[in-house]
Amino acid sequence: MSEHRDGVDSLTLIPSGGGAFELTIDDKLVWSKKQMKKFPDYKDIAPSLG
């Protein structure tokens, strides 16, 4: 992720329950652990980071 540090203005973690989380960028869902039932690899989210 360090190669994207200049393109990310902020990151907000909103706690939830059950280990589920969703990653959104500009209000667009990029990854849902609940839907995919697995933790994302970097390659899963990298294309969305620009």
CB 33 within 8 A of CB 22: yes
What is the model's pLDDT at position 2? 67
The answer on pLDDT for 1 being more than 60 is no
CB 48 within 8 A of CB 32: no
Give residue-wise pLDDT tens across range 4-48: 667 777 777 777 778 888 888 888 888 888 899 998 898 888 888
| Vertex 29 angle, CA 42 and 11, to 5° | 65
- Residue (of 8, 2, 3, 6) closest to 30 by Cα position: 8
Domains of the chain: 2-49 (3.40.30.10)
What is the model's pLDDT at position 13? 72
